[in-house]
């Protein structure tokens, strides 16, 4: 009897943690500066936890984790050039592999995917998006295109510079994502009539290969 009570309590704790996680909004905040190279900081937070990525123009990239504003640790990240050197050669893909996968996609399935992606993007789209500064291309023609384009997108306040190649930008992007909403859209896609038979065929093919 005691064992059953302990198991029941553990199950309740797991369910409580699950609902807390999916109902806690994930906040994201990106701030950057672009002159000769890009440098900036991205913060992703959920509840008291916050993950930060810092990119420096000199190549000193840092990953950090905070709890209630207290830094738990910071770790330098390897530069992109070093990662390229350490990247293993890509394995050759089997002939016809992707053809077999895309061959079972129909119009209804693709439409369901696009609808799900659209809904998730609308939900997670930034609430604040600003781009300010000065930008100019070496060719004044492209700078003129930028000057015409900036008025069509809200939040972009970039002054064109026709004197040459100029890059001096400041960016701010903020928003939030609710995991419960993303989970709802994902489950809705899985149970949608156009998706069920296609997903079933993909699962059967995977089992057949194994």
Q: Is the pTM above the cut of 0.75?
A: no
Greatest mean pLDDT among 117-121, 166-170, 191-195: 117-121
Strands 128-136 and 156-160: parallel
CB hemisphere CA count around 16 (13 angstroms):
6
pLDDT class of 9 with cuts at 50, 70, 90 = confident
pLDDT class of 14 with cuts at 50, 70, 90 = confident
> What is the three-class DSSP state of 21?
helix
- Residue of 45, 24, 12 whose CA lies nearest to 182: 24
DSSP 8-state symbol, 91 = P
Determine the pLDDT at residue 78: 64
> What is the three-class DSSP state of 156?
strand
Q: Is 160 exposed, middle or buried (0-12, 13-18, 19+ CB in 10 A)?
A: buried
What are the residues whose beta carbons fall under 8 Å from the beta carbon of 168, sequence distance 6 or more? 34, 35, 133, 134, 135
Q: Are 167 and 135 in contact (CB under 8 A)?
A: yes
Q: Are 25 and 31 in contact (CB under 8 A)?
A: no
Determine the pLDDT at residue 201: 76
Residue whose pair of structure tokens reads 């992703």 in the numeric block: 44
What does the pLDDT look like over 76-96, one tens digit per residue? 776 555 554 555 555 554 444
What does the pLDDT look like over 94-117, one tens digit per residue? 444 545 555 566 778 888 888 898
Strands of 78-137 (E only): list them. Answer: 128-136
Strands of the chain (E only): list them. Answer: 26-34, 38-46, 49-55, 61-67, 70-77, 128-136, 156-160, 166-177
Determine the pLDDT at residue 79: 55
Give Rg (Cα) of the chain.
24
- Residue of 194, 196, 202, 191 whose CA lies nearest to 112: 194
């Amino acid at each position: 009897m005691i064992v059953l009570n302990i198991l029941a309590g553990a199950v309740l704790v797991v369910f409580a943690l699950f609902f807390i996680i999916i109902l806690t909004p994930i906040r994201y905040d990106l701030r950057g500066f672009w002159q000769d190279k890009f440098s900036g900081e991205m913060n992703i937070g959920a509840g008291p936890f916050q993950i930060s990525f810092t990119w420096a123009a000199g190549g000193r990239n840092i990953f950090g984790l905070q709890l209630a504003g207290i830094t738990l640790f910071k770790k330098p990240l390897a530069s992109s050039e070093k990662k390229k050197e350490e990247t293993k050669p890509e394995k050759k893909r089997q002939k016809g592999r992707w053809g077999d996968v895309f061959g079972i996609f129909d119009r209804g399935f693709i439409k369901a995917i696009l609808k799900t992606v659209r809904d998730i993007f609308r939900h997670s789209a930034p609430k604040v998006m600003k781009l300010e500064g000065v930008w100019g291309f070496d060719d004044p023609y492209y700078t003129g295109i930028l000057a015409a384009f900036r008025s069509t997108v809200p939040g972009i306040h970039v002054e064109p510079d026709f004197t040459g190649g100029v890059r001096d930008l400041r960016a701010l992007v903020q928003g939030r994502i609710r995991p419960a909403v993303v989970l709802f859209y994902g489950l809705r896609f899985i149970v949608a009539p156009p998706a069920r038979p296609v997903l079933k065929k993909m699962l059967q093919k995977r089992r057949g290969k194994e």
